[in-house]
Structures are given as structure tokens and as C-alpha cells.
Amino acid sequence: MTRHELATRDLSLGYGRITIIDELALSLPTGQVTAIVGPNGCGKSTLLAGLARLHAPSHGAVLLDGQDIQQLPARELARRLALLPQEASAPEGLTVAELVRFGRQPHQGWLRQWSAEDQQVV
């Protein structure tokens, strides 16, 4: 598994005129588990959505290995970053292995199909 450095630079996130996160500077340690703790409504989910490019910043940037994630092609970002929501749902009858296989899709290409490496990762 490859580990990537994730950081923010003066990150501001909000909804319309309401700022939820204002000029956050954050660096998550590579290869470590990080907990984001706080009361309901303090911006934890907004921060995670911003870190995963599901919510565009109003100011600043989220950096993955020093690159602004807003500038990365979607397939490249998907190869390097994933978010599992708190209330994830999958179609009924889908096994965990089948669900993990879907996560390998960004690593496929027009000419590169399912491989032994993909099977090992799953």
C-alpha cells in the first residue's frame, strides 16, 4: 500500500455565505491513524468532504503529496485517495470482496483489465 501526504493550506470551506472552516492549516501524518473529534455541527463532515474533493474550498487548497487536489485528474485522485462515509451503503447482495473490486476501477485502463495484482489487493 502506498502512503501519501495529505495537508491543507489556508483551507476555508462553507456553504453559501456561511463559513464552516476558516483558513485551516493541517498536516496529517503519513502512515498514522488520525481521529477528528468534535461536537455535532462543528465541521468534521465538511472537512472530510473537502479533503476528498467532494466539497470545493472557498479559499486555500487541499494538498496531496504537495499537489492541489482540485488540479488532479479524477482518475489520478481516485487512485491515491478514497473516503468511506460513516453511513456507507452498498447494493443488497454485494459481498465485501465485490465492493472492494469496484475500488480497483481507477487502476484499470482501456488496455489493462483485471490482473493478478488486482486480485491480490482485494
Q: pLDDT tens, 12-50?
A: 999 999 999 999 999 998 888 888 999 999 999 999 999
Average pLDDT value for the chain = 85
Does the pLDDT of residue 59 top 90, yes or no?
A: yes
Q: What average pLDDT does range 93-106 have in this prediction?
A: 78
Could you give all domains of the chain from N- to C-terminal order, each with its CATH number? Answer: 6-80 (3.40.50.300), 89-122 (no CATH)
**pTM for the full model?**
0.71
Give the number of residues written for the chain. Answer: 122
Q: Are 85 and 52 in contact (CB under 8 A)?
A: no
Q: What average pLDDT does range 42-60 have in this prediction?
A: 94
Q: What pLDDT score was predicted for residue 33?
A: 85
Does the pLDDT of residue 118 top 80, yes or no?
A: no
Q: What pLDDT score was predicted for residue 2?
A: 59
Kindly give the residue spans of alpha helices, DSSP state H, lying in the chain.
44-51, 74-80, 96-102, 116-121
Q: What pLDDT score was predicted for residue 65?
A: 92
C-alpha cell read off for 86: 460513516
Q: In the beta sheet, which residues pair with residue 114?
A: none
Spatial CB neighbours of 71, under 8 Å, sequence gap ≥ 6: none
**By percentage, how much of the chain surpasses pLDDT 90?**
49
Q: What pLDDT score was predicted for residue 88?
A: 66
